[in-house]
Amino acid sequence: MERYHNAKTIEPNVLIVRFIRKSDRFKIDHVKFRATEDGDKEDYTFLNEHEIEYTKGRSNKLLRALAELDEGLSGYQLTRLEHSLQSATRAERHGAYTD
Q: Give one DSSP letter per residue of 49-79, joined into a string.
A: HHHHHHHTTHHHHHHHHHHHHTSPPTT-SS-
pLDDT at 5 (0 to 100) = 44
Average pLDDT of every residue of the chain: 76
| Confidence at residue 21, expressed as pLDDT on a 0 to 100 scale | 54
Share of the chain above pLDDT 90, in %: 25
Per-residue confidence (pLDDT) for residue 7, from 0 to 100: 47
When pLDDT is cut at 50, 70 and 90, the band that residue 2 belongs to is very low
**Per-residue pLDDT reduced to its tens digit, 5-46:** 444 444 455 445 555 555 554 466 788 888 888 889 988 888
